[in-house]
Amino acid sequence: MILRRALACSRPLPRVARAPSLARWYSPTIYKPDGTTHAVKEELTPLAKHIRDTILATGPISVAQYMQLALTSPIGGYYTRGQVFGREGDFVTSPEISQMFGEVMAVWYVMHWEMMGRPAKTVFVELGPGRGTLMEDIMRAAKRFKSFYASVRGIHFIEKSPELRKLQHDKLGCDWNDTTTVDDKNDSGTTPVSSVSRRYGGLRVGWHDVVEQVAVDKDCVPLVMAHEFFDALPIYKFEKGEGGNWNEILVDVADSNATPMQATSPAQMRGTLQSSSSIDGDSSASHFKLVRARGVTSNAAMVLRDQRFDSLFDKGDRVEVSPESARIMIQLADWISANNGMGLIIDYGADWTQGDTFRGIKSHRFANPLCSPGSMDLTADVDFSYLRFAAKDRAKCYGPIEQGSFLHSMGIQARLQQLLKSTADDKVQKDLVECYRRLTDVHSMGRVYKVLAVLPNSSTGAPVPFAQPTAVDPGNPTATDST
Ligand SMILES: C[S@@+](CC[C@H](N)C(=O)[O-])C[C@H]1O[C@@H](n2cnc3c(N)ncnc32)[C@H](O)[C@@H]1O
């Protein structure tokens, strides 16, 4: 019944993305140098200069600090720009490919709202909403379910980018007359902090820099969504060295005396220590390079405190760890358990700790992440086992399962059929089928993207379409029960 009603939420003209075929992921191999050498250094932008000065003043910085500055610094961080999505931008995401994605997500929330006894008050909390497309698709589909729609009291967006906040504001039909703003840190205008969506019946919309700023009323059920958010959070990189010590991999200025790191080859990433090649293919152009820290850094001592990092890795192995992800996951798990909420985390990654996935994405190509900070997206595959470990004893985690399987179980094929019937235009029909293929095919986004569901600790029964909660083995936290 729910599915049928959701599938009736068609629009006159189905939206399909005519975007390049590269999504915001690629197979889990490191950036591969193209062998090109550049005699001329790239331009030293204000952000690159700031990073360089920081390193010259205090020494090499962590990859996490570099990533944070390159992505969200107010002096030219990548996400301070608005137009990074789509054909003119650098990448395309699932909600931008087709409306079917968000509509199917809406069905999931409605189903679990029903299963949880139709709570009277709910609030959406979306982390990293991009252009606001996913929430718009969810809300439009949710309108078909009158009781559910009536329960939605507001939307909280966690978004650092002033430009993207403005796009989200307009996408949800918020009126600037109702909008409270703060001055942009980069003086490019004003940044919305709260508004009212005229399109969605005067619904309150709030923006926050960090999850801790969101105040969820005790009697309000949080409906959490994080799509391609965790992969943008800063990671630290370490390599296991002599005597089992973990050496941190840091970012240094290119003209320092430190020897640049040699990259792990794809063969090494699969655990065989054979060949190596330079990680920094066009390092002669970049102002930065990766180096090994001398001695154990405080980051290594803090971030790798968990026993798994002693027992599961051998000399030469690398790990990428995002403590910021764990911090946010703890917050989400606590909200969800305290307020009987539910959450979906969708991203590319695996259910184990990654080694060498840190990369740049620019103009739909993979790029050296150390080149031109602020000019490209930086990302690393998500370690779902680490997220589950952070949520341990706080909430129940289900999955991750593959995106293709999730979308199929939630009825994407039926929705596709409906949209195909709604148009006689051959081209639109072909595009719709192609979008469906891209979202679900195991060779496209269907396998590499995973879905993790989070339910309260007190919940009984698994959410559709998951099996049992995924356990964390205390002796070996990266090992998982299969779902
Ligand atoms: C790759 S985009 C994904 C956008 C959207 N979810 C989609 O799939 O189309 C990442 C989003 O996370 C936001 N973001 C990145 N790092 C963030 C941080 N540390 N805090 C808050 N938002 C962040 C970006 O501004 C952007 O909206």
Confirm or reject: Cβ of 72 under 6 Å from ligand 1. Answer: yes
Residue with tokens 């959410």: 463
Partner residues linked to 366 by β-bridges: 361
CA of 57 to the centre of ligand 1 (A): 30
What does residue 123 show for φ and ψ, rounded to 5 degrees? -145, 130
Distances (CA, A) of 107 to 2, 3, 8, 114: 7, 7, 11, 11
Instruction: Provide the pLDDT for residue 67.
Output: 97
Out of 101, 134, 159, mutate this one to test ligand 1's pocket (max ligand atoms within 8 Å of CB): namely 159
Domains of the chain: 2-22+83-232+324-456 (3.40.50.12710), 46-75+235-321 (no CATH)
CA of 5 to the centre of ligand 1 (A): 30
Out of 15, 68, 78, 79, mutate this one to test ligand 1's pocket (max ligand atoms within 8 Å of CB): namely 79
Q: How far apart are CA 361 and CA 368, in angstroms?
A: 8
Instruction: Provide the pLDDT for residue 310.
Output: 79
User: What is the band of 476 on the pLDDT scale with cuts at 50, 70, 90?
Assistant: very low
Q: Label each residue of 349-415 as H, E or C.
A: EECCCCCCCCEEEECCEEECCCCCCCCCEEECCEEHHHHHHHHCCCEEEEEEEEHHHHHHHCCHHHH
User: What is the band of 329 on the pLDDT scale with cuts at 50, 70, 90?
Assistant: very high
Distances (CA, A) of 82 to 19, 130, 166, 259: 17, 9, 8, 37
| Atom of ligand 1 lying closest to residue 133 CA | 9
Confirm or reject: Cβ of 159 under 6 Å from ligand 1. Answer: yes
Q: What is the CA radius of gyration of the chain?
A: 22
Confirm or reject: Cβ of 409 under 6 Å from ligand 1. Answer: no
Asked if residue 308 has pLDDT above 90, the reply is no
Cis peptide before 369 (omega within 30 of 0): no
Residue with tokens 């379910």: 145
Question: Nearest residue CA, atom 12 of ligand 1?
Answer: 128
CA of 191 to the centre of ligand 1 (A): 16
Q: How far apart are CA 140 and CA 149, in angstroms?
A: 10
Instruction: Provide the pLDDT for residue 14.
Output: 59
Instruction: Provide the pLDDT for residue 35.
Output: 41
Per residue in 185-225, pLDDT (tens digit) is 555 568 999 999 999 999 999 999 999 999 888 889 999 99
| Atom of ligand 1 lying closest to residue 85 CA | 9
| CA dihedral for 114, 119, 124, 125, sign (positive or negative) | negative
Confirm or reject: Cβ of 90 under 6 Å from ligand 1. Answer: no
Round the average pLDDT of the chain to a whole number and report it: 85
Mean pLDDT value across residues 164-179 = 95
Closest CA to 137 of 73, 94, 83: 94
Asked if residue 267 has pLDDT above 50, the reply is no
Per residue in 400-456, pLDDT (tens digit) is 999 999 999 999 999 999 999 999 999 999 999 999 999 999 999 999 999 999 999
Instruction: Provide the pLDDT for residue 1.
Output: 53
Instruction: Provide the pLDDT for residue 215.
Output: 87
Per residue in 344-375, pLDDT (tens digit) is 999 999 999 988 999 999 888 888 999 999 99
Q: Which of 11-20, 99-108, 173-182, 210-219 has the lowest mean pLDDT?
A: 11-20
Per residue in 26-80, pLDDT (tens digit) is 433 333 444 444 456 788 899 999 999 999 999 999 999 999 999 999 899 998 8
Written as one letter, the residue type at 184 is D
Confirm or reject: Cβ of 128 under 6 Å from ligand 1. Answer: yes
Q: How far apart are CA 317 and CA 272, in angstroms?
A: 10
